[in-house]
C-alpha cells in the first residue's frame, strides 16, 4: 500500500478586507435606519427595536479583528448589507472556480507538479455557487487536468473530509495525485443583518495536494492517520437549496442563510473534538501532549484555546496553536488549511502536528501529519 502525503498547499486571499470598526459602523447605520423607519411600530410595541453591534464585543467574543471578502462595497452599504456578486454568463469562468484555481496553482507549484501529474480534483466546501456542473469539473478543466472531479460538502469540516477521501483514492490505487480545493465564499450565505453572527465569516480559497509518496517532492508531510466523525445537530444550519431560495436581503427568511445557536455549539463541540483528537492520537501511538503544532479550525479563539489545552495538557501559545482567525475571520473549511499553509515551514523533520476541523453537522475531522525533510 502506498504511503500518502501532503506535497503542497495553496491559498487565495481576496484583496478587500473589512475591519470590525468598519463592519460595526455600517451595521449600526442600518440599525438606525431600520429603527427610524419603524419608529411608530416600535413605539406601539408591535416590533422590537434593533440593538447596535459593538466592535469590542466582536473581538472579545470571537477573537476576530477583520475578515477578507470578495466584495466589500455591498457588505458595508447600510442599505444593503450583502455583497455584490453578480451572476456571470455561462461562458465566463465562475467566481468559485477563479478563487479555487488560484489556490490550486500555488499548491501545484509548491509540489513541482503540472496538470499532467494530477488524476482528480475534489472541491470540498460549505457552499457551492450552483447545483451543477460540479465546481470541481470546471476547476479541473481550467487547470487542464485529465481524470475526474466532484464536489463534496461537510460544512466547516469539508477540507479534512476531502483530504481523507483523497488519501483513500490513492490508497485504493484509483489515483496517485489528488487536489482538494476549498473555495469558501461565506459572505454570500451570511446574514449581515443579524447582530449575533454578522461578524463571524470571511472569504478565501485553499488547496491541498494529496499524493502517493513515491511521486512526491523531497519536502512533504506524511499523513500518519485520518479520522472523521459526524453527529447530527440543528444548532448550525442553512436551509438554502434548490427548493428554498433566499432573498438578497435575507429578511424574513433567516433560515435560508447561516443560523446557529453559538453558545450550544461552543459547549457541545469543544469536548467532542478534544476527545476525538486524544483518542485518535492514542490509536496512532502518538502522545497527544507531544504534538508539535495544532492547526485547528478557525471559528472562535476561545474554542481553540480550550481544545488545545485539553489536548496538550497546558495553555497553548501561538507557536503551538497558531491563529489566522484575527485577520481572516471564520473561513469555514479553509481555516485549518490556512493555518497549516502559513505556519508549517519552521517545523523540523520528524515533527508531528495535527490539522483539525469542526463545524456544522456536527462534523469533525483530524489529519495527523509528520514533516519529512
Ligand atoms: N454586539 C454586541 N453585543 C452582542 C452582539 C454584538 N454583535 N451579539 C450578541 N451580543 C450580546 C448578546 O445580546 C448577549 O447579551 P446578553 O448577555 O445581555 O443576553 C451577549 O452579547 C452574549 O451573546 P452570545 O451568548 O451570543 O455571545 P457568545 O459569548 O456566545 O459569543 C459567538 C458568540 C462568538 C458566536 C460564540 O458563541 C461562538 O463562537 N460559538 C461557536 C460558534 C461556532 O463555532 N460555530 C461554527 C460555525 S461554522 C460552521 O460549521 C458553518 C459552516 C458554514 C459556513 C458558511 C457560513 C456563511
Q: What is the pLDDT of residue 246?
A: 59
Q: What is the CATH number of domain 221-372?
A: 3.40.47.10
**How does pLDDT run across 224-249, given as a tens digit for each residue?**
999 999 999 999 999 988 777 656 55
Q: What is the pLDDT of residue 244?
A: 72
Mean pLDDT of 332-345: 98
Burial 116-135 (b: 16+ CB within 10 A, else e): ebbbbbbbbbbbbbeeeebb
* Phi/psi-derived region of residue 285, left when phi > 0, alpha when psi is between -120 and 50, beta in every other case: left
Q: Tell me the CA–centroid distance for residue 263 and ligand 1, in Å.
A: 7
CA distance 95 to 352: 36
Q: Tell me the CA–centroid distance for residue 193 and ligand 1, in Å.
A: 14
Looking at the CA of residue 53, tell me the nearest atom of ligand 1. Answer: 1
Mean pLDDT of 319-324: 98
Q: Tell me the CA–centroid distance for residue 31 and ligand 1, in Å.
A: 18
Q: What is the pLDDT of residue 22?
A: 98
**If DSSP codes are grouped into helix, strand and coil, which group holds residue 4?**
strand
pLDDT above 70 for 198: yes
Closest Cα to atom 8, ligand 1: which residue?
A: 196
Q: Indicate whether residue 260 lines ligand 1 (CB < 6 A).
A: yes
**How does pLDDT run across 246-293, given as a tens digit for each residue?**
565 544 578 889 999 999 999 999 999 999 999 999 999 999 999 999
Query: What average pLDDT does the chain have?
Result: 96
**How does pLDDT run across 37-69, given as a tens digit for each residue?**
999 999 999 999 999 999 999 999 999 999 999
Mean pLDDT of 5-9: 98
Q: Please give the DSSP secondary-structure letter assigned to residue 318.
A: T
Hey, which of 124, 229, 262, 303 would you mutate to test ligand 1's pocket, going by the most ligand atoms within 8 Å of its Cβ?
262
Q: Which of 135-144, 247-256, 269-278, 321-330 has the lowest mean pLDDT?
A: 247-256
The 3-state secondary structure of 36-95, one letter per residue: HHCHHHHHCCCCCCCCCCCHHHHHHHHCCCEEEECCHHHHHCCCCCCCCCCCCCCCCCCH
Closest Cα to atom 24, ligand 1: which residue?
A: 263
Active-site positions read 156
Count the neighbouring beta carbons within 10 Å of the beta carbon of residue 279.
Answer: 14
Q: What is the pLDDT of residue 242?
A: 76
Contact predicate 177/122, CB 8 Å: no
Instruction: Report the percentage of the chain scoring pLDDT > 90.
Output: 95
**Of 315, 337, 309, 339, which is closest to residue 326 (Cα–Cα)?**
339
Q: Indicate whether residue 362 lines ligand 1 (CB < 6 A).
A: no
Count the neighbouring beta carbons within 10 Å of the beta carbon of residue 35.
Answer: 16
Q: Indicate whether residue 57 lines ligand 1 (CB < 6 A).
A: yes
Q: What is the pLDDT of residue 24?
A: 98
- pTM reported for the whole predicted model: 0.95
pLDDT above 90 for 1: no
Amino acid at each position: 500500500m502506498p504511503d500518502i502525503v501532503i506535497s503542497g498547499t495553496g491559498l487565495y486571499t481576496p484583496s478587500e478586507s473589512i475591519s470590525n470598526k468598519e463592519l460595526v459602523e455600517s451595521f449600526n447605520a442600518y440599525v438606525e435606519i431600520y429603527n427610524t423607519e419603524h419608529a411608530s411600530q416600535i413605539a406601539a410595541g408591535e416590533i422590537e427595536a434593533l440593538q447596535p453591534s459593538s466592535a469590542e464585543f466582536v473581538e472579545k467574543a470571537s477573537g476576530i479583528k477583520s475578515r477578507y471578502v470578495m466584495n466589500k462595497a455591498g457588505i458595508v452599504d447600510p442599505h444593503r448589507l450583502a455583497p455584490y456578486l453578480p451572476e456571470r454568463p455561462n461562458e465566463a469562468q465562475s467566481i468559485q472556480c477563479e478563487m479555487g484555481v488560484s489556490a490550486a496553482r500555488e499548491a501545484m507549484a509548491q509540489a513541482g507538479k503540472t496538470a499532467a501529474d494530477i488524476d482528480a480534483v475534489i472541491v470540498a466546501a460549505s457552499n457551492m455557487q450552483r447545483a451543477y456542473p460540479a465546481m470541481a469539473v470546471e476547476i479541473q478543466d481550467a487547470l487542464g487536468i485529465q481524470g475526474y472531479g466532484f464536489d463534496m460538502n461537510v460544512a466547516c469540516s469539508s477540507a479534512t473530509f476531502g483530504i481523507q477521501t483523497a488519501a483513500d483514492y490513492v490508497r485504493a490505487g484509483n489515483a496517485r495525485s489528488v487536489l482538494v480545493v476549498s473555495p469558501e465564499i461565506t459572505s454570500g450565505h451570511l446574514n449581515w443583518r443579524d447582530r449575533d453572527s454578522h461578524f463571524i465569516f470571511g472569504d478565501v480559497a485553499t488547496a491541498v495536494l494529496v499524493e502517493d509518496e513515491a511521486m512526491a517532492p523531497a519536502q512533504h508531510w506524511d499523513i500518519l492517520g485520518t479520522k472523521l466523525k459526524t453527529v447530527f445537530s440543528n444548532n448550525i444550519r442553512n436551509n438554502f437549496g434548490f427548493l428554498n431560495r433566499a432573498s438578497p436581503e435575507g429578511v424574513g427568511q433567516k433560515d435560508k442563510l447561516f443560523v446557529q445557536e453559538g453558545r450550544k455549539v461552543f459547549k457541545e463541540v469543544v469536548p467532542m473534538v478534544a476527545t476525538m483528537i486524544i483518542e485518535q492520537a492514542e490509536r496512532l501511538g502518538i502522545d497527544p501532549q507531544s504534538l508539535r503544532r495544532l492547526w485547528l479550525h478557525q471559528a472562535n479563539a476561545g474554542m481553540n484555546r480550550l481544545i488545545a489545552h485539553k489536548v496538550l495538557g497546558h495553555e497553548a501559545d501561538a507557536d503551538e496553536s497558531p491563529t489566522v482567525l484575527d485577520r481572516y475571520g471564520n473561513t469555514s473549511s479553509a481555516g485549518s488549511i490556512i493555518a497549516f499553509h502559513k505556519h508549517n515551514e519552521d517545523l523540523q523533520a520528524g515533527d508531528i502536528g495535527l490539522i483539525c476541523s469542526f463545524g456544522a453537522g456536527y462534523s469533525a475531522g483530524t489529519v495527523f501529519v509528520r514533516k519529512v525533510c
